[in-house]
Amino acid sequence: MTEDNTPRYIAVEGAIGAGKTTLAVEIATRIGAQAVLEEFEENPFLAHFYQDQKQLAFQTQIFFLLSRYRQQREILQPDLFYERWTSDYIFARDRIFASINLSEAEMKLYDEIEQTLNREIPLPDVVIYLQAGVPALLENIQKRGRPFEKQISREYLHDVVEAYNHYFYHYRATRLIVVDANRIDFVEHPEYVDLVLAAIYREPHPPVEYISVVPPPFFSV
């Protein structure tokens, strides 16, 4: 937290296609923060991972783990231009996916590495979980049109959603805001960002808060 008790570090999370990056960037723009964004394009294993998950899962996860560790460590360094940060992931994101993708033996090795790195990672002041179901996520994935994501199966996405819901059901590390993101488009309707910002800066704030947005009448439901 900053000296005036406002959040210094805001993280946005959610399954593939939930709208994390859009919201993290929009919040950063509005509050004058630096956005720390996932570097998925730099992962040389990701494009082939969905073709052969068992063969490439460990390499994909370790690359992401080290990349996110480096990025998150930078948040702890003094910055002359920014006093606030947003991110489109939390460090635990990698372990959520690892729990789905890795074998038991791989998971044991992964945990040893992750637990060592996790000691040096800053905790967000607020985490926003964009909760969405498989149909909404598939629609968003198709809309943004990343070539490698075309190979994501409905079954895999279902596993990801289940893992996310389980993780955040038990999440107690920091303040949590859960947003029903099934019918929210932060690009076409940036006014929804106002609702999220109002929850972030609401005082007094509950440790866990749920936001359910009713779509305008012209939305097809």
What is the amino acid identity at position 136?
A
What distance in Å separates the CA atoms of residue 67 and residue 73, rounded to the nearest whole number? Answer: 10
Neighbour tally for 54: CB within 10 Å:
11
> For this structure, is 111 an active site residue?
no
**Cα torsion 41, 75, 88, 30: sign:** negative
Instruction: Phi first, then psi: give them for residue 29, nearest 5 degrees.
Output: -65, -40
Instruction: Phi first, then psi: give them for residue 124, nearest 5 degrees.
Output: -65, 155
Q: Are strands 85-87 and 34-36 parallel, antiparallel or unpaired?
A: parallel
Neighbour tally for 204: CB within 10 Å:
4
Of 88, 94, 125, 159, the catalytic one is: 88
Residues assigned a catalytic role: 88
